[in-house]
Amino acid sequence: MLRAFFRTEAGSTSVLLVATALALLWANSPWGDTYEAFWHTPMGISFGDAAFSLDLRHWVNDGLMTLFFFVIGLEISYEMRLGQLRDRRLIAVPAVAALGGMLVPAGVYLLLNFGGPGAGGWGVPIATDTAFVLGLLAVVGARCPDPLRAFLLTLAIVDDVLAIIIIALFYTASLSIPALITAAALLAAIVTLRWLRIWRAPAYIVLGFALWVATLESGIHPTLIGIALGALVFVYAPTDQKLLLAGEAMQEFTSEPSARAAMVATRRVRHAVSVNERLQLRLHPWTSFVIVPIFALANAGVRLDGETLRAALTSPVAIGVALGLLLGKFVGIWLGTWLPLRFGWGILPGNLVWGQLLGGAAVSGIGFTVALFIVDLAFDDAAIRDQAKIGILAGSLLAAGLGWVIFRMAWDRGGVCAPPEVEPDEVLPEILSVPVGPDDHVRGPAEVKVTIVEYGDFECPYCGRLHPVLEEIRRKNPDVRLVFRHFPIRTLHPRAAPAAIVAEAAADQGRFWEMHDILFDNQRFLTDADLKHYAAQLDVEPWSDVPRHVSRIALDEESGRDSGVRGTPTLFLNGVRYQGPLDLNSIARAVEELRRSP
């Protein structure tokens, strides 16, 4: 899901750039007057004497963009239930960073505009454009590892939520109480249908459209409804029963292919995946490749003649927006990252270093989609709107350049580590850096011929498959002992670190290996509630001494990195890296060779 999201956003950046360039060329061409005239063309729906009409720009900004924010709502719902946002330790740092990345830019802008005609535009420099940021990171390539992308995606999701709240609270001009009551009733009807588990798409489409109209008439920006409806869509992990039914249907189709068997297999496979994920798969390309570029085409057109540029160079609005995006975002995200790390409120995904984080903070100053969106809400004066748009373009370009320079400098100085797959010449150590000691988790007698050290991750499926293999080898070879060291891959397995903490809590009571087996036997069920249940089975207090346990896990991770561990599972046999296949026969042969050696 995360990698698919990255590919879609990065790929759509080129389309978004083309749409932005077309808007600028159109607005500055000999036919530039037709730009505003076209987007102010009215279009509506009438039923007898009743009519509902908006100009084309508002159909894009208030209509199509609601679908864009609906997809954001889907992503937020998914990440909170099954993804990065379900782990409080991984949320804390990017969440505080997102907050800092909004407060400081707003403060920078207000320093220049407080009390002036542009004061209401303080919300313009607060938002990060995820598509442009991820597109630039794709160009940066090896200098930007997956953990940084995961960190910035989490930051962008929190940023989007805060931006929508700000739009709802501060950019709502007036309220119509009757329309607001109607919108609340329609939202309650949709929630009721969901509660009754009535899944009829036409009912949701009709109610959703009516809710959009009522919200628009109420004075609240309808994008808020997009987020709310997206968050209401069901998301769940596939249950064993659904997976079993899907597997049986596929087996039936394979053994006796027919149209009916194909239909049943298709339906059961589809139902094994939540509606949320199916909708994201269908809608994300449309929002990324169609809706957001159309939005850019409708809003990015601004005249860049000498008079306009001269006015922007001295305009506190343009300067405030540009500085808010360039410096405000950078300083705000840096402070928002440093504070929670300094006080131990959370952890970072992977093994990020400050060179990477500062580069990510800089490129987060690329504000476009939501920034242009707020410009339309904040300013009635066309001249001030144009100045704000010039500030957005200038600040975003400068932020992209600053990020590129930081990534380049950090790379040249060795401050950024590329993923192993893009460093084919990297020579990894083959010897275990830290010998097995009394603090290790050891299964087996002290005096043995062979010691297997495993760097593992409780949520890693490959570690799960290796678990019974190692147990079988130990059962057949009494002179073999097993040592387990933690190496949670947080970017891919958000529950691995909490599971490791619970295992360490069990170790305090001499029950590490019992918890170790329970966790590997229940890899698909590692939520906080699940971990608490497993701890109760062993009469263990799971969160009794988290800082100490985190430090203990960090020591394992450090020894693993020093030993050249780049993924899980990684094995060392008698202190030497095992590089063969991870099946029973291959490992057994390697163990037997060591047992026979003098």
DSSP sequence for 443-506: ES-SS-SEEEEEEE-TT-HHHHHHHHHHHHHHHH-TTEEEEEEE---TTT-TTHHHHHHHHHHH
488/167: higher pLDDT:
488
Counting every residue, how long is the chain?
Answer: 598
69/317: higher pLDDT:
317
The CATH number assigned to the domain with range 441-596 reads: 3.40.30.10
Mean pLDDT for 455-465 is: 89
Sign of CA dihedral 226, 232, 238, 244: negative
Lowest mean pLDDT among 22-26, 58-62, 199-203: 199-203
pLDDT of residue 109: 93
Tell how strand 480-486 and strand 50-55 pair up: unpaired
Q: How far apart are CA 70 and CA 225, in angstroms?
A: 8
- Is the pLDDT confidence value at 27 over 90? no
Q: pLDDT-based confidence at 147, cuts 50/70/90?
A: low
Residue from 271, 450, 404, 343 nearest 96 by CA: 343
Mean pLDDT for 326-353 is: 82
Q: pLDDT-based confidence at 71, cuts 50/70/90?
A: confident
pLDDT of residue 380: 82
Question: In terms of pTM, does the model score above 0.85?
Answer: no
- Is the pLDDT confidence value at 449 over 50? yes
As annotated, the residues of the chain forming the CATH 1.20.1530.10 domain(s) are 2-172+221-237+274-412
In the structure encoding, which two tokens stand for residue 537, read together?
């089975």
Average pLDDT score over the chain: 82
Q: How far apart are CA 90 and CA 483, in angstroms?
A: 28
pLDDT of residue 36: 83
Max mean pLDDT range (15-29, 168-182, 470-484)? 470-484
pLDDT of residue 215: 82
pLDDT of residue 575: 93
* Residues 325, 363 contacting (CB under 8 angstroms): no
Burial 456-471 (b: 16+ CB within 10 A, else e): bbbbbeebbebbebbe
33/481: higher pLDDT:
481
The correct answer on CATH 3.90.650.10 for the domain covering 2-172+221-237+274-412 is: no
Mean pLDDT for 207-236 is: 79
pLDDT of residue 572: 95
As annotated, the residues of the chain forming the CATH 3.40.30.10 domain(s) are 441-596
Q: pLDDT-based confidence at 351, cuts 50/70/90?
A: low
Cα 517 to chain centroid, rounded: 31
State pLDDT tens for residues 511-554. Answer: 999 999 999 998 878 888 889 999 999 999 988 888 899 999 99
Mean pLDDT for 153-172 is: 76
Q: How far apart are CA 252 and CA 343, in angstroms?
A: 56
In the structure encoding, which two tokens stand for residue 427, read together?
């020579």
Tell how strand 450-456 and strand 42-47 pair up: unpaired
- Collapsing DSSP to helix, strand or coil, 572 comes out as strand
Locate the DSSP E strands across 32-164.
42-47, 50-55
State pLDDT tens for residues 222-260. Answer: 777 777 788 788 777 776 677 777 777 787 777 778 888
Residue from 231, 248, 242, 252 nearest 273 by CA: 242
In the structure encoding, which two tokens stand for residue 283, read together?
């809608």
DSSP sequence for 261-304: HHHHHHHHHHHHS-HHHHHHHHHHHHIIIIIHHHHHHHH-----
Mean pLDDT for 318-333 is: 92
Cβ-based neighbours of 225, under 8 Å, separated by 6 or more: 66, 183, 187, 211, 212, 215
E strand or H helix that includes residue 386: helix 382-412
- Is the pLDDT confidence value at 204 over 50? yes
- Is the pLDDT confidence value at 146 over 80? no
**Quick one: what percent of the chain has pLDDT higher than 90?**
25
E strand or H helix that includes residue 589: helix 584-596
Q: How far apart are CA 491 and CA 457, in angstroms?
A: 12
Residue from 127, 219, 215 nearest 166 by CA: 127
State pLDDT tens for residues 256-284. Answer: 788 888 888 888 887 777 777 888 888 87
Q: pLDDT-based confidence at 419, cuts 50/70/90?
A: very low
Residue from 3, 159, 140, 145 nearest 94 by CA: 159
Cα 596 to chain centroid, rounded: 50
State pLDDT tens for residues 92-129. Answer: 888 898 899 999 999 999 999 988 888 888 988 887 77
